[in-house]
Amino acid sequence: MKALLVRVGIDQAYGGWNAPVDAGGRFVYVPIPERPGTRFHPGLERRYNEVLPALHRFGRDRDLADLHFPPALFDHSMHLDPDFDGLTYGDVGGRRGAGMVGMTAGDLLAFYAGLRPVHPSEHTLVYALIGLYVVREVVPAVAMPLARCGENAHTRRAVPGATDIVVRAKPGASGRFDRCIPIGEWRDGSYRVREEVLEAWGGLSVKDGYIQRSAVPPAFNRPDRFLEWFRNQGVQLLARNN
């Protein structure tokens, strides 16, 4: 089994904002912006107004200003990836997604995000797992038939990258979590996986659990131990984005 830890979701580097999380682990999944100038197949562009209902449900007595949601995001398309509705994830197979190209059925993608707490917290951001895919298959984005191009951000583009790939996940065993699982802490000048979690997982392929940036997704050294740990967390898997 092969397993990768993949950073996703809007953050300060991609979008200038972090999605919210509360003390109970309830969070909103907000993707990064699409790159400027991207052209889409007709009718397949996704916009940030789609996340408004989830933000309003999360905020309850708050409005978007209280959550510091940047109004400028409404001027951008949304790179909805992973797309938990369709259980897909796309990436650039020649770079960041190179480790996913050879994945086969039963391999794992664990998604994490840097979320901003709306409750008192010792950390500015809560680094947490937000979803898990059990791989069903990995296909080239350019091979996706037009009728299925709406399933993923990379195939919604009018011209997907030559090396772009789409991971399709196994229904029932994959999805967004009903609550996030915090895994990070500020240690030695950056955000890293907490030491006791790192030990339970059997380690990662990066030094001392570094997760503040993820140009190349780190691999789990012991996917079997990670999976055993995950099964004890008691989260539900949802086939929806929010």
> Which pLDDT belongs to residue 203?
98
Q: Residue 94: which domain range?
A: 3-238
- DSSP state for residue 233 in the 8-state scheme: S
Residue 61 pLDDT: 67
> Given the structure tokens 């994945």, which residue do they identify?
103
Tell how strand 88-92 and strand 78-79 pair up: unpaired
Q: What is the pLDDT of residues 3-50, one digit of tens each?
A: 999 999 999 999 999 999 999 999 999 999 999 999 999 999 999 999
| Predicted local confidence at residue 167, as pLDDT | 98
Q: Tell me the C-alpha distance between 73 and 69, whole Å.
A: 8
Q: pLDDT exceeding 90 applies to what percent of the chain?
A: 92
Q: How far apart are the first and last CA of the chain?
A: 29
This prediction's pTM = 0.97
Residue 35 DSSP label = P
Pairing of strands 108-117, 3-7: parallel
SS3 at position 37:
coil
How many domains in the chain? 1
Residue 64: predicted pLDDT: 80
- Residue 162 has what pLDDT? 94
Nearest to 22 by CA among 180, 129, 131: 180
**Spatial separation of the C-alpha atoms in residues 185 and 20, rounded to whole Å:** 17
In three-state secondary structure terms, 78 is: strand
Joined tokens for residue 209: 């659990």
Residue 65 is predicted with a pLDDT of: 77
Q: How far apart are CA 3 and CA 20, in angstroms?
A: 27
pLDDT digits (tens, 9 = 90+) for 175-214: 999 999 999 999 999 999 999 999 999 999 999 999 998 7
Pairing mode of beta strands 190-193, 126-140: unpaired
**pLDDT score at 95:** 80
